[in-house]
């Protein structure tokens, strides 16, 4: 039916999701004149930066066949620890920032050790650990925000370069580095292999548990990076940081072609999925959807986006 070259373009896994994003974007432009303005694009980009970093980490784990529901809590905890160090312990801000990244890695390591060492299911373990990390968060803050984050560090969260917020640039850099790692290094292939069949990977001599640990550590690192940048942006360390990041990270990855069972998908696809969710959440507010309906509408659109991708794949199969 369609010309052959168009069909070949559609065969690319990402094409379906990307098309969905374009469609949603165009519809949004029609729904509100304020959507496609530099100011609004900035808002979207800034929110997307944080969810994006978590999504990148989550999709990495999902491709390997694991899940981490504690990434948001890790971000929140590390942000708070950073705030405490900078404000109450008077640690030099950039040093505190770096130490916090280390905390994130350690949290990731803890998750990884529980999954590999005890053979526990990662979904279940990380639900529990999310409780632990957010609980620790409350223990340290007693529920109060830590204010007066030094100005030295706020540029990281609030700065803008060529109209693009700094956190967004950091997220893009993270995406670039990890995408290269996934597509062009042996490590990346091993991650895909483990997601395909951990048993086969083991038979091949791939150090499955070691790679699992590394991925959990990377995920923890990304989460604390997001948490610290959020603190830098807000100028305060709120205990609630990170709560809203996890669900979109999983939904975005699935929309973007990462299977929950692992083995296929890409970080780029997951980011497109996260962008779809970000745009939807933005247009709902601008369009003036009643707050009571917002969650219904955003959920429904997510389902539509996933269906669009599934249907377009079936269409491609039929063409063949």
Residues that bind another protein (CB under 8 A): 180, 184-186, 189-190, 192-193, 195-197, 199-207, 263-264, 320
Instruction: Find how far residue 47's CA is from the centre of its chain.
Output: 11
Which residue lies nearer to another protein by CB, 143 or 205?
A: 205
Tokens, residue 316: 């491609």
Which residue lies nearer to another protein by CB, 119 or 205?
A: 205
Closest approach of another protein to the CB of residue 220, in Å: 22
Closest approach of another protein to the CB of residue 263, in Å: 4
**Could you give the angle at the alpha carbon of 52 between the alpha carbons of 50 and 53, nearest 5°?**
70
Closest approach of another protein to the CB of residue 93, in Å: 32
Residue in 266, 227, 268 with CA at minimum distance from that of residue 244: 227
Closest approach of another protein to the CB of residue 189, in Å: 6
Which residue lies nearer to another protein by CB, 190 or 308?
A: 190
| 160-161 vs 164-165, strand pairing mode | antiparallel
Closest approach of another protein to the CB of residue 314, in Å: 15
Which residue lies nearer to another protein by CB, 127 or 264?
A: 264
Instruction: Find how far residue 206's CA is from the centre of its chain.
Output: 27
Phi, psi at residue 142, to the nearest 5°? 55, 30
The kind and range of the H/E element at 113 are helix 93-117
Closest approach of another protein to the CB of residue 275, in Å: 25
Which residue lies nearer to another protein by CB, 37 or 183?
A: 183
**Could you give the angle at the alpha carbon of 68 between the alpha carbons of 66 and 71, nearest 5°?**
150
Q: Where do we find the tokens 């404000």? A: 87
Distance CA 138, CA 77 (A): 9
Which residue lies nearer to another protein by CB, 144 or 199?
A: 199
């Amino acid at each position: 039916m369609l010309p052959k070259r168009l069909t070949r373009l559609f065969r690319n896994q990402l094409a379906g999701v990307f098309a969905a994003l374009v469609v949603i974007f165009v519809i949004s432009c029609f729904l509100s004149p304020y959507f496609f303005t530099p100011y609004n694009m900035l808002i979207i980009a800034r929110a997307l930066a944080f969810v994006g970093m978590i999504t990148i980490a989550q999709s990495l784990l999902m491709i390997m066949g694991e899940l981490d529901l504690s990434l948001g809590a890790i971000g929140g905890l590390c942000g708070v620890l950073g705030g405490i160090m900078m404000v109450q312990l008077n640690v030099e801000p950039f040093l505190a920032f770096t130490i916090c990244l280390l905390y994130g890695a350690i949290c990731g390591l803890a998750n990884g050790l529980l999954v590999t060492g005890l053979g526990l299911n990662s979904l279940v373990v990380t639900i529990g650990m999310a409780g632990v990390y957010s609980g620790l968060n409350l223990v340290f803050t007693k529920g109060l925000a830590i204010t007066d984050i030094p100005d030295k560090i706020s540029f990281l969260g609030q700065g803008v370069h060529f109209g693009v917020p700094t956190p967004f640039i950091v997220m893009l850099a993270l995406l670039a580095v990890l995408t290269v790692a996934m597509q062009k290094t042996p490590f990346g292939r091993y991650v895909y292999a483990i997601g395909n069949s951990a048993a086969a990977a083991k038979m091949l001599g791939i150090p499955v548990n070691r790679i699992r640990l590394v991925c959990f550590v990377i995920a923890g690192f990304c989460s604390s990076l997001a948490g610290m940048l959020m603190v830098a942006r807000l100028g305060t360390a709120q205990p609630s940081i990170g709560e809203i990041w996890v669900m979109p990270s999983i939904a975005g990855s699935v929309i973007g072609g990462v299977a929950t069972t692992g083995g296929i998908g890409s970080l780029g696809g997951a980011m497109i999925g996260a962008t779809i969710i970000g745009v939807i959440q933005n247009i709902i507010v601008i369009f003036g959807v009643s707050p009571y309906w917002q969650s219904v509408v955003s959920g429904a659109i997510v389902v539509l986006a996933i269906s669009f991708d599934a249907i377009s794949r079936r269409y491609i199969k039929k063409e063949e």
